[in-house]
Amino acid sequence: MRDRIEEAIAERLTDPDFGVSELAAATALSASQLRRRMKAMYDRTPVQLIRHRRLEAGARLLQERADVTIGEVAYAVGFNSQSYFSRSFREAFGVPPSQYRGEGAAA
């Protein structure tokens, strides 16, 4: 089940419309079954896991590609809003995306 969840998220990571109902359909579970199983497996809700995977992908992009803007990274990993991406990124990693990029480039 864990592999199916991870695979479904990875395949649709860039789709901003990908959410709980799409993940539930991809894993052949109801939304409530999916929430219950994910809470047990990941200690996160489906929304939290999808957002976390998007932020991880964004962090990789920031470190690998100095030629893309923060906005381009946000849209590339499925966020509709650069400000929401930046706010979520700061909550997850403790620094804003621009600073994370600087630290990644220096390291």
Owner of token pair 């990789």? 60
* For residue 107, pLDDT beyond 50: no
Q: Could you read off the pLDDT of 26-38 as tens digits, one per residue?
A: 999 999 999 999 9
Q: Could you read off the pLDDT of 12-61 as tens digits, one per residue?
A: 999 999 999 999 999 999 999 999 999 999 999 999 999 999 999 999 99
Give dist(CA 75, CA 23) in Å, integer: 20
pTM over 0.85: yes
Alpha helix (H) ranges present in 12-106? 20-26, 31-42, 46-64, 70-76, 82-93, 97-106
Domains contained in the chain, CATH given? 2-106 (1.10.10.60)
